[in-house]
Chains A and B, each alone.
Chain A
């Protein structure tokens, strides 16, 4: 039988040990949530607005995201590009980084949002053993990004309901998807943080008279909607043309899917239904998301190589090819870049009065050859007033 004194010493020792463990974990979570990601403005960026400029209800929240506006000297159309609807699909955010740091617009306007759901960039999958961040190598060293998750951070929106009923369709969706930015369109002014974020975006689309919304994503190889453009019926012709042109000329294949009319909350459905804009959603392959993946680490995220996903492919379980080369981040970002270029070009050809003419967006082959990091700019060498943080 241990003495009372001995018992107290044992309990104190365990508590101290637990406190040390929690301090390590807590520091990692805190640093991950507060990591500042610099965006060096391209000379083509003429304004940086906040989402709360379109809906004050989002002001002061973590999702009051930056909107980088690139304007041409000639009037034309307006195209909005959303990255980070699902931050655990990093090609989406990295593509918007390349646009905000490099693109120049000659006609029309390009609106770029790298962190559509900023809250979701500040958390990783609970119990998923995700890395907290990843680094893209650059000629000047490297730039670190938050890993992020598919859903808003529970620290910003908690608890989840037992049943999530989508507004306004009243369709019943998975309870957790009330924190999924791509299940809460067109949003609700008095809803949850994620619903308010979509509402603010919808206001932005209407007030800025946006012609096309491009929502950038990545998908697991075991999911049939992959390497494709999902198009609202208003954008079917455009998406089909882009798909044909890219598959013929750009060195990779991309398909085209119709946005299901009965599936609610998704950007490609609700933006097209509730605003004047055409809505398109781009999917690139990301083996990191596959359920049968092996070790979930930074290498898998950036190189896209995994022996278990490869084996799944040999058993015919994948909807996209998978070989020893994997799906590196440069290829995934390059696909998004070229698809955006073709959307802009073909839209502008068909709608000259609403053209959006941009240059200095690298194509697929260029990103594949030079790497994503080549197009990221060193924030330490820039005037601080040209550096914003996500």
Chain B
């Protein structure tokens, strides 16, 4: 259970980093890439997949 909670915290932190990079990026290709790679992290955080 502790490991599961730690993994969710880790997932949330990585999702935060991706969103941060998305906000800072000035290249449209990178922005699309960040949005795509963000999805599995959010799906796990929202407990959908």
Asked if A10 and B31 sit within 8 Å, CB to CB, the answer is yes
Given contacts A11-B22, A11-B23, contact A29 B31 (CB under 8 A): no
Known: A11-B23, A159-B3. Is A26-B35 also a contact (CB below 8 A)?
no
Pick the contact of A22 from B23, B42, B47 — CB < 8 Å?
Answer: B42
Chain B facing A: main interface SS: helix
What's the minimum C-beta distance from A201 to chain B, rounded to whole angstroms?
A: 22
Distance in Å: Cβ of A125 to nearest Cβ of chain B: 12
B32 contact set on A, CB distance < 8 A: 14
Q: Choose from A7, A18, A30 the contact partner of B36 (Cβ within 8 Å).
A: A18
A249 on the B face (CB < 8 A): no
| A18 touching B43, Cβ below 8 Å | no
CB within 8 A of A14: which of B35, B39, B49? B35
* Chain A residues within 8 Å of B3, by CB: 159
How many of B's residues come within 8 Å of A, CB to CB? 20
Interface size class of A (residues with CB under 8 A): 20 to 34
Query: What B residues does A11 contact at CB under 8 A?
Result: 22-23, 31
B7-48 Cβ-contact flags toward A at 8 Å (1 or 0): 100000000000000110010100110011011001110111
Q: Which of A21, A26, A154 has the most CB of B within 10 A?
A: A26
In the complex, the answer to whether A7 meets B26 with C-beta atoms within 8 Å is: yes
A158 to B5, alpha carbons, bound, how many Å? Answer: 9
* Cross-chain contact B48 with A15 (CB below 8 angstroms): no
Which 6 residue pairs are nearest across A and B when measured between Cβ atoms?
Answer: A18-B35, A26-B48, A29-B48, A29-B49, A159-B7, A14-B31
**A-side interface residues toward B, CB under 8 Å?**
2, 7, 10-11, 14-15, 17-18, 21-22, 25-26, 29-30, 33, 123, 126, 154-155, 158-159
List 27 interface pairs A-B (beta carbons < 8 Å), by A numbering.
A2-B26, A7-B26, A10-B31, A11-B22, A11-B23, A14-B28, A14-B31, A14-B32, A14-B35, A17-B35, A18-B39, A22-B39, A25-B39, A25-B48, A26-B43, A26-B48, A26-B49, A29-B48, A29-B49, A33-B48, A123-B49, A126-B49, A155-B47, A158-B4, A158-B7, A159-B3, A159-B7
